[in-house]
Amino acid sequence: MSAAERKTMLLTTPFHSRVEQYCELNDWGLWQGYTTPNSYFDMELEYFAIRSTAGVLDLSPMNKYRILGPDAEAFLNRLVTRDVTKIGVDRVGYAVWCNDGGELMDDGTIFHLAEDDYRLCSYMRADDWLEWNASGFDVTINNESDDIAALAVQGPVSCTILTLIGCEGLNELKPFGIARFDFEGVEMMVSRTGFTGDLGYEVWIDPSKANALWDQLFDKGRDYLIKPIGSHALHVARIEAGFLQANVDFVPAEIAVRPGRTRTPLEMGLDWQVDFNKSLFNGRAALVKQREEGLRYRFVLLDVEGNKPAEHSFIYKNGKQIGIVTSAAWCPTAKSNLAFAQVEMPHGAVGDEFVAEIYYQRELQWTRLMAPCKVIDGPLFNPPRKRQTPAPAH
Partner 1 sequence: MNKYDAIVVGAGHNGLTNGAYLAKAGLKVAVLERNPHIGGATVSRELYKGWYYSNCSYVSSLLRPEITRDLELPRHGLQVVPFGGGATFMQNGDHFGSYSDYGRKYREISRHSKRDANAYERYRADTSRQTRLIRPFLLKTPPDPTSLRLRDLKDLVDFAKPFLNMGEEGLLDTIKFWTTSVGDYLNEYFETDVIKAQHAGSGIIGTALGVYSPGTAYVLLHHYMGDVDGNVGAWGFARGGMGAIANALSKSLQSFGGDIICDADVERIIVKGGRAKGVALKNGDEYHADIVVSNLDPKRTLLDITDERDLPKDVVQKAKNFKIRGSSGKLNIALDGLPTFDGLDPKNPLMSGDLHFSDSLERMERAYDDWKAGTWSKDPYLDMMIPSLTDPTMAPPGKHMMSVFVQYAPPKVEGRDWTDEDKDGFEKSVVDQISKYSPNFRDLILHCETRTPREIEAEVGLTEGNIFQGELTFDQLLFNRPFPGYAQYRMPIKGMYMCSSGTHPGGGVMAAPGANAAREILYDLKRPNTVPGSYADD
Partner 2 sequence: MTKYDAIVIGAGHNGLISSSYLAKAGKRVLVVDALNQAGGCASTKAFANGFHISDCAQWVHQLDEKIVKELSLEMHGLRLGEAKRTIALQSSGDHLIVDGDSLSGAGISAADKKAYKAFRRQMQVFAKLMLKLYRTRAPKMVDADWGDRMTLLSLGLGLKMMGRRNMRDMMRLVLINIYDVMNEHFEHDGLKAAIALDAITGTNMGPRSPNTVFTYIHRMVGEALGNRGVSQVMGGMGSLGGALLSSAKTQGVEVRLGEAVTRIIKTGDRVMGVELSSGDTLEAIAVVSSVDPTRTYRDLLGYRNIEAGQARRVEQYRTRSGTGKLHLALSGLPSFVGVSPDDHSQRLIIAPCMDAMEAGLNPIKYGELTSQHVFDISIPSIEDPTLAPAGQHVLTALVHYVPHELKTGWDNNESAREQLLQSLLAQLEVYAPGIRELIIASEVRVPEDFEASHGVTGGNWHHGELSIDQALMMRPFPGSTQYTGSVVGLYLCGAGSHPGGSLMGLAGKNAAEEILKQGVLS
- Which residues of this chain interact with partner 1, rule CB under 8 A? 1-2, 4-5, 7-11, 30, 33, 101, 125-129, 131, 143, 254-260
Query: Which has the closest alpha carbon to 121: 43, 44, 202?
Result: 202
Please, which residues bridge with residue 324 across strands? 314, 342
Instruction: Give yes or no for residue 114 binding partner 2 (CB under 8 A).
Output: no
Question: How many other β-carbons are positioned within 10 Å of the β-carbon of residue 6?
Answer: 8
DSSP character for 75? H
Residue 237 to residue 49: CA distance in whole angstroms = 11
Q: Of partner 1, partner 2, none, which one sits near residue 257, judging by CB under 5 to 8 A according to partner kind?
A: partner 1
Instruction: Give yes or no for residue 118 binding partner 2 (CB under 8 A).
Output: no
Candidates 129, 299, 330, 340: give the one binding partner 2 (CB under 8 A).
129
Instruction: Give yes or no for residue 79 binding partner 2 (CB under 8 A).
Output: yes
In angstroms, what is the minimal distance from the CB of 247 to partner 2? 20
Instruction: Give yes or no for residue 265 binding partner 2 (CB under 8 A).
Output: no
Q: Of partner 1, partner 2, none, which one sits near residue 29, judging by CB under 5 to 8 A according to partner kind?
A: none
Total residues interacting with partner 2, rule: CB under 8 A = 21
DSSP character for 10? P
Instruction: Give yes or no for residue 366 binding partner 2 (CB under 8 A).
Output: no
Query: Which has the closest alpha carbon to 105: 133, 126, 82?
Result: 126
- Our CB check for partner 2 shows the closer of 288 and 370 to be 288
In angstroms, what is the minimal distance from the CB of 251 to partner 2? 17
In angstroms, what is the minimal distance from the CB of 4 to partner 1? 6
Whether 263 contacts 276, CB under 8 Å: no
Radius of gyration, CA atoms only, the chain: 21
Query: Which has the closest alpha carbon to 151: 210, 108, 90?
Result: 210
Candidates 89, 186, 285, 349: give the one binding partner 2 (CB under 8 A).
285
Instruction: Give yes or no for residue 260 binding partner 2 (CB under 8 A).
Output: no
Residue 165 to residue 351: CA distance in whole angstroms = 46
10-49 mask for partner 2 (x: CB under 8 A)?
----------------------------------------
Which long-range contacts link 349-352 to residues 24+ away (Cβ below 8 Å)?
349/375, 350/375, 350/376, 350/377, 351/375, 352/300, 352/317
Instruction: Give yes or no for residue 99 binding partner 2 (CB under 8 A).
Output: yes
- Our CB check for partner 2 shows the closer of 272 and 276 to be 276
Q: Which stretch binds partner 2 (CB under 8 A): 26-34, 265-273, 278-286, 329-337?
A: 278-286
Query: Which has the closest alpha carbon to 201: 237, 232, 175, 183?
Result: 175
Instruction: Give yes or no for residue 51 binding partner 2 (CB under 8 A).
Output: no
Candidates 1, 3, 257, 280: give the one binding partner 2 (CB under 8 A).
280
Instruction: Give yes or no for residue 101 binding partner 2 (CB under 8 A).
Output: yes
Whether 373 contacts 302, CB under 8 Å: yes
Edge-first strand listing for the sheet containing 91-98: 91-98, 104-114, 117-122, 63-68, 140-143
Q: Which residues bind partner 2 (CB under 8 A)?
A: 71, 74-75, 78-79, 99-101, 129, 132-133, 135-137, 279-285
